[in-house]
Amino acid sequence: MDAAFSQDKIDRNSPQPLYLQVYDVLRKYALSAEVGKAEILPSTEKLSKLFGVSQNTIRQAMRLLVDGNLVCRVRHRGTMLTSGQLPDDPQANLRSIALIFPSEGYDFWQPLLKSMHREAEANGYYLDIYLYKWTDLAAERRALTKAFRNCSGVILYPNANGDDRELIEEFNAMRQPLVLFLLYFEDLDASVIAADNQRGAYTLTRCLIHGGAKRIAFVHNLLHLNTPKLRLEGYRKALKEYGLEAPAELVGDGTCLGNDFEKWMKRTTPDAIVCDSSGLARKAACYLKSPNAVAFFASKREKMPEGMIIAYIPSEALGQAAIEELLHRLRNSQFPKRKIQINLSIEPLISTEMNEKLG
């Protein structure tokens, strides 16, 4: 069957969009007399390699095939030609889930998005991604409107300014379920899936305290946003528990500091630091002359000086939890709107003795 799908079937000089060319090839295959019943098409990933196009192009073509009732998604089996499906098959309809995501983070969060695609497709759904400019409330509204019109349920990564609360409440009242993703909202009656950033910063700070630090700085980009605020709360909570001061001068916005970071460190004289990026962590380690005095947040693994304490964001677990939460709501309209926070992975791994001290 793979021979029917190849890059030779695609004319990259044609004015016809690639997804329509892929659709034409798959449509002819689905309608051809040679196709046997119950034929399962290759996976989205394999088709993209065979045709030499992106997976999103394959998904666009598949949606056209679904609209034409030529294929359907069958849970645990894959994409099946409808000509080979039994009429009473309970999984006869392909469904889609919308993920509304900031265009600025699309490349950065690719591992997360891939895990969400896998989880959705394993449960018989397509994941349709709607990108919007993260600081544009009107663009967020357009994406939500389109997603609610076309999809069974919606997962939203809210905007950077935090001014979309009324918008979220408006769409949260609609028939389709809405799950808020990556940003935590305590006082909103909505399903929320996010990393436990407050506890992550709390744990990092306590690890530094147990290492002997007394004057710990906190540096984070875009301090006015929701996630940095939660991390700052965790940092301050740990200092308070140990009777240590948390003067305002030790809290810095990495975006504003820029090239003045080292001057700021010399002026404030911290003996340890909690920060939000590997770049800041390296600079801080050079100034402090000790990687053990540096703790930071990371979304992916990279080679860093030995001894640094790192809180890894559990991207794959977050993606799976968001899909699972939405599916629960889709399958049972009475299912409660849950708020789920997933712990960050702290490395080097905390010893049993330290874990007991940290509670």
Q: Quick check: 349 pLDDT over 60? A: no
- Which of 3.40.50.300, 3.40.30.10, 3.40.50.2300, 2.60.40.10 is the CATH number of 95-196+316-342? 3.40.50.2300
User: How far is residue 300's CA from residue 199's CA, in Å, rounded to a whole number?
Assistant: 19
The highest-confidence range among 30-44, 246-260, 282-296, by mean pLDDT, is 282-296
126-156 residues labelled b (16+ CB within 10 A) or e (exposed)? bbbbbebebebeebbeebbeebbeebbbbbb
Q: Is the pTM of this model over 0.75?
A: no
Q: How do 272-275 and 216-220 pair as beta strands?
A: parallel
Q: Quick check: 356 pLDDT over 60? A: no
pLDDT at 28: 85
β strands within 68-124, DSSP E: 71-74, 78-81, 95-102
Three-state DSSP class for 154? Answer: strand
Instruction: Give yes or no on whether 95-196+316-342 and 197-313+348-358 have one common fold.
Output: yes
Burial class (CB in 10 A: 0-12, 13-18, 19+), 321: buried
Q: Who wins on pLDDT, 176 or 4?
A: 176
CATH 1.10.10.10 applies to domain 2-84: yes
Q: Quick check: 127 pLDDT over 70? A: yes
User: How far is residue 64's CA from residue 21's CA, in Å, rounded to a whole number?
Assistant: 12
pLDDT at 74: 66
Predicted confidence band at 179 (pLDDT cuts at 50, 70, 90)? very high
Task: For 265-276, write each residue's pLDDT tens digit.
Answer: 999 999 999 999
pLDDT at 214: 95
Task: For 39-75, write each residue's pLDDT tens digit.
Answer: 788 889 999 999 999 999 999 998 888 776 678 776 6
Predicted confidence band at 346 (pLDDT cuts at 50, 70, 90)? very high
The CATH architecture annotation of domain 197-313+348-358 reads 3-Layer(aba) Sandwich (3.40)
Q: What percent of the chain has pLDDT over 70?
A: 89
Q: Who wins on pLDDT, 144 or 182?
A: 144
pLDDT at 259: 83
C-beta neighbour count of 123 within 10 angstroms? 18
Task: For 282-333, write each residue's pLDDT tens digit.
Answer: 999 999 999 999 999 998 888 898 899 999 999 889 999 999 999 999 888 8
- What is the residue extent of each domain of the chain? 2-84, 95-196+316-342, 197-313+348-358
Residues 6+ away with beta carbon under 8 Å from 99: 113, 116, 127, 128, 129, 130, 154, 155, 157, 181
Predicted confidence band at 278 (pLDDT cuts at 50, 70, 90)? very high
pLDDT at 321: 95
- Mean pLDDT across the chain, nearest whole number? 86
Asked if 39 and 84 touch (Cβ cutoff 8 Å), the reply is yes
Predicted confidence band at 350 (pLDDT cuts at 50, 70, 90)? very low
Three-state DSSP class for 137? Answer: helix
pLDDT at 126: 83
Task: For 183-222, write each residue's pLDDT tens digit.
Answer: 877 888 999 999 999 999 999 999 999 999 999 999 998 8
Q: What percent of the chain has pLDDT over 90?
A: 53
